[in-house]
Amino acid sequence: MRLSTRNQIPGKVVSVTSGEAMAVVKVEIEGGQVLTSSITLDALTDLGIAVGKEVSLVIKSTDVALGVE
């Protein structure tokens, strides 16, 4: 599959928490950081997402917010 989105990061699913309509999927990337994605339960099933599955994080955003203490 080829996408126009350039921010694609490979990783491995480390946890899946399902709710009533959505699932929270945590993906570990190179360097040990964990990124979180919220997807529909339909997408979870359709894509066969499960702990240990290799996935690509595809990130498209109009802005990036920063925070400081």
In order of start, what are the domains of the chain with their CATH numbers? Answer: 8-56 (2.40.50.100)
Confidence of residue 52 (pLDDT cuts 50, 70, 90): very high
DSSP 45-61: HHHT--TT-EEEEE---
Q: Which of 45, 62, 47 is nearest to 1 (CA)?
A: 47
Give phi and psi for 53, each to the nearest 5. -75, 135
Tell me the pTM. Answer: 0.85
3-state secondary structure 14-29: EEEEECCCEEEEEEEE
pLDDT of residue 51: 98
